[in-house]
Amino acid sequence: MPTTDAPPPPPASTPTVFEAIVKQQCIAATYNRGEVTLAPHVIYTKHGEIHVDAVTIERDGKPPKEAKLGTFKLAGLGPVRMTPRRFERSAQFDPAEPRYEGNLLMAVEG
């Protein structure tokens, strides 16, 4: 039986993240056994897997010490759910960063 190097199928949560980016609404998920609320700014591929760069709004119900844009492997986020909470684009996000070139699937506008 021939083997293929086809990439794995995208996680089931991919459409939810696309919707959250378009609507600029936060998502909630489980990450490293904790609950996080994220403001997703961009979804892209890296090494054949889908990643999300997002600002962590809350971790286990508490805001982080400092707001920063972090990278999350989408497959590592537990059930992803839309929240009603909206967000503004972070000044830390630069869609022209080289890591997104040729790999960008969607990013916040503005």
Distance CA 64, CA 54 (A): 13
User: Who's near 30: CB < 8 A, 6+ residues apart?
Assistant: 36, 77, 78, 79
* Contact (CB, 8 A) for 81 and 44: no
Q: What is the pLDDT of residue 5?
A: 59
Residue 11 has pLDDT above 80, yes or no: no
The 10s digit of each residue's pLDDT in 13-42 is 789 999 999 999 999 999 999 999 999 999
